[in-house]
Chains A and B, each alone.
Chain A
């Protein structure tokens, strides 16, 4: 008999099978949920505005610390996803994944002391300054 849901058995807390799959014996691809492995869970989201580089002779990137709270053990880093808008003159660009093309781009870093910093690679030639890059982040609870 096919068991759609198995609450406990063989060391497993909870397994939910796809339609017509036996949750107790289905492989990992045929389960809707398996408490033996970690689900993708959200730690937090937010954004940080990062100024463009107004002095270029001391760093290749401007970094701005976010208010994100990251709670993983020392020496580990959580999975994280970044999307944002590049700096620009007169307005920011469209929403895109992180990019770096030399004098343009943005990204983010989670440092070893578990802070998230937004990064802006865009460099000003002079006034007027570019509009800040907007770095959106999504931090997941899975870490390694």
Chain B
């Protein structure tokens, strides 16, 4: 029988998913490292991606708790000499950068508490607590 370059379903080692092999390799029998594509375990997929400018509750409508990644956006005017005048997504989030420049030393930093997301009702919604404009990315990998 000719090689099966694509297997959709169960293959010889009982893995179930979608498998793509290069020419000359049978995707049904190939070792994992021979495959071009192997979708047999959960991968993180983005469910939601948006910004909030202040603390708020975001409806998720999920049945389980997702992963949530946060980062803040901050204006860089008068804080960084190179990209000054811009604003950007920054890490650490928040950065603790000060909001205005002070000449001749004595520069102080502003310490904002870290942004946080709390999952409510097993994925029904989440409460985002943020002191800076904050991006949230919600992924479908369950941890409960």
Contact = CB atoms under 8 A, between A and B. Distances in A.
A98 B63 CA distance: 32
A32 B41 contact: yes
B31 interface: no
Contacts of A33: 17-18, 39, 43, 45
Contact of B82 (A19, A27, A65): A65
Interface string A69-100: 00000000111111000000000000001111
Interface of B: 8-10, 16-18, 39-47, 49-51, 62-64, 69, 71, 73-74, 76, 79-83, 86-92, 95-98, 101-105, 107, 109, 135, 137, 139-140, 142
B110 to A, nearest CB: 10
Given A28-B47, A39-B45, A111-B83, A56 B107 contact: yes
Closest A-B pairs by Cβ, 5 of them: A77-B89, A144-B49, A98-B92, A111-B86, A111-B88
Interface residues of A, number: 52
A102 B44 CA distance: 35
Interface of A: 4-5, 7, 14, 16, 18-19, 27-29, 31-34, 37-40, 56-61, 63-65, 77-82, 97-100, 102, 105, 107-113, 115, 117, 119, 142-144
B80 A5 contact: no
Contact of B86 (A98, A102, A107, A112): A112
A27 to B, nearest CB: 6
B39, B42, B44, B107, most chain A CB atoms within 10 A: B107
